[in-house]
């Protein structure tokens, strides 16, 4: 008899941003598969078991979880943010498509979570108030020239752009190259937001202009939001400015 597999989004890190649906899934599951920093957020009971793996082992992690669920167990694969946004839900689907027929009979439930871009946007106002897109700067699963083409196309189309996986020790140059590409399309005064650990005690939210942005202040845990030419800031005396993108497009 096949078991059940939850693919759970734990949000950006604050316990307050874990949904009741996610908490219920965690309470029901017996085995948990995920990247160790995400598993460490859980307060598991003695009868629950965590199996951690490296952040680049998504497919092997998905296969291991599916195999356990196929044995009749209730299993959870955990992700930060939302599992469907550059995370484990797609990896689980890929594993099912390429795996044994029995995996297609497992009861799968994708449990959504608050994404990093939504958490960062909420901390500064409403930069995603008009059309926007999300792009991962990682070239592990797609060529870098594809990333550059998509950045330019999104900027030319007037989208606000949320960047995931902007920089790492193995990829220290890509965020700078991304900004170089964007400067060929967007004005230097375009608003750029770096949001790290939104909603947590170590939160850091910084606002730059595209012409003066400091890539050294970003790391792999940073979500970068690049405004459109319509995005603006509302000064507020002793309070941080509100950054927002109007819902309607100004006449061109």
Segment 225-251 shows an average pLDDT of: 93
Asked if domains 4-114 and 117-244 share a fold, the reply is: no
50 pLDDT band, cuts 50/70/90, is very high
- What's the CATH number of domain 117-244, 3.30.950.10, 3.50.50.60, 2.40.50.140, 3.60.15.10? 3.30.950.10
Tokens 């979570």 belong to residue: 113
Average pLDDT of every residue of the chain: 95
Token pair of 192, please?
A: 């750029």
pLDDT, residue 109, reads 98
Segment 77-84 shows an average pLDDT of: 96
Q: Provide φ and ψ at 121, rounded to 5°.
A: -60, -40
Task: Return the percent helix, strand and coil in the chain, to nearest 5.
Answer: 30, 25, 40
Q: Is it the case that residue 1 has pLDDT exceeding 80?
A: no
Q: What is the percentage of the chain residues whose pLDDT exceeds 90?
A: 89
Q: Is it the case that residue 165 has pLDDT exceeding 70?
A: yes
First to last CA, the chain: 60
Tell me how long the chain is.
252
What are the pLDDT digits (tens) for 176-220?
A: 999 999 999 999 999 999 999 898 888 999 999 999 999 999 998
| Domain assignments of the chain as residue spans, ordered by start | 4-114, 117-244
Segment 58-78 shows an average pLDDT of: 97
CATH superfamily of the domain spanning 4-114:
Tetrapyrrole methylase, N-terminal domain (3.40.1010.10)
Cα(132)–Cα(120) distance, integer angstroms: 14
pLDDT, residue 169, reads 82
Cα(252)–Cα(61) distance, integer angstroms: 49
Alpha helix (H) residue ranges in the chain = 20-28, 36-39, 58-70, 88-98, 116-124, 144-156, 174-183
What are the pLDDT digits (tens) for 84-115?
A: 999 999 999 999 999 999 999 999 999 999 99
Q: What is the DSSP letter of 183?
A: H
What are the pLDDT digits (tens) for 140-152?
A: 899 999 999 999 9
Q: Is it the case that residue 250 has pLDDT exceeding 80?
A: no
Q: Is it the case that residue 252 has pLDDT exceeding 60?
A: no
Which of 131-135, 217-221, 244-248 shows the lowest per-residue confidence on average (mean pLDDT)? 217-221
Closest CA to 230 of 182, 190, 202: 190
């Amino acid at each position: 008899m096949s078991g059940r597999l939850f693919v759970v989004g734990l949000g950006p890190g604050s316990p307050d941003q874990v949904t009741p649906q996610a908490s219920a899934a965690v309470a029901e599951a017996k085995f948990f598969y995920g990247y160790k920093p995400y598993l460490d957020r859980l307060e598991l009971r003695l009868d629950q078991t965590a199996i951690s793996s490296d952040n680049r082992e998504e497919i092997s992690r998905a296969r291991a979880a599916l195999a356990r669920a196929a044995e009749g167990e209730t299993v959870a694969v955990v992700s930060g943010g939302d599992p469907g946004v550059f995370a484990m839900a797609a990896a689980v689907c890929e594993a099912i498509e390429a795996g044994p027929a029995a995996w297609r009979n497992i009861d799968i439930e994708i449990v959504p979570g608050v994404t990093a871009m939504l958490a960062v946007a909420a901390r500064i106002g409403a930069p995603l108030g008009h059309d926007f897109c999300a792009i991962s700067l990682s070239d592990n699963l797609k060529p870098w020239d594809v990333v550059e083409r998509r950045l330019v196309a999104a900027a030319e189309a007037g989208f606000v752009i949320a960047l995931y996986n902007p920089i790492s020790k193995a990829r220290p140059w890509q965020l700078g190259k991304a900004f170089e590409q964007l400067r060929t399309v967007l004005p230097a005064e375009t608003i750029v937001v770096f949001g790290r650990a939104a909603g947590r005690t170590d939160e850091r939210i910084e606002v730059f202009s595209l012409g003066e942005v400091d890539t050294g202040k970003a790391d792999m845990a940073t979500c970068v939001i690049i405004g459109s030419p319509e995005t603006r800031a509302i000064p507020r005396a002793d309070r941080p400015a509100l950054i927002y993108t109007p819902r309607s497009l100004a006449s061109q």
